[in-house]
A = this chain, B = another copy of it.
């Protein structure tokens, strides 16, 4: 019975929470395969998306876009730097700020990454409309729970204006 009232409390909720959890891990697993060629993990790929989009970005802004804090980003950026994909340097005007930017090698990776999104969408088995619906519902959930800034920022980081000129 599709009761909107929670008559058996550990039921519908558990389905939904687990569905999000399982889907997230399944998607991460898919990316794991696709990104293996590039030597990136999924969170590293998300960071590179933002860097490709915005160029030199303070760690703070990266964290705001991806909803990650320095405890996650600092070691992640260190690994990207060790891999030669990212450079970090302190701002001159404010010595507290560290800006991360893709290196030439990191920027070059972007073209190889562009084949990935199409394969991911296809692998989900959803058509464009369903993907849009799913995305809208997830955004509702995230912003309801987030209580702070909506995910618009992060999303726009994922969809760049097709090209930009810079280093």
Across chains A and B, which 7 residue pairs bring their CB atoms closest together, nearest first? A14-B158, A13-B117, A125-B144, A24-B24, A11-B159, A4-B128, A19-B138
Nearest residue (CB) in B for A2 is B163
Say which one of A54-62, A89-97, A99-107, A108-116 lies at the interface with B: A108-116
CB nearest neighbor in B for A162: B8
Judging by beta carbons under 8 Å apart, are B127 and A137 in contact?
Answer: no
The answer to whether B113 and A126 touch across the interface, beta carbons within 8 angstroms, is no
- Least CB distance from A146 to B in Å reads 6
Q: Residue A83 at the B interface, CB < 8 A? A: no
0/1 string, A113-142, CB within 8 A of B gives 1: 111111011011111101111110111111
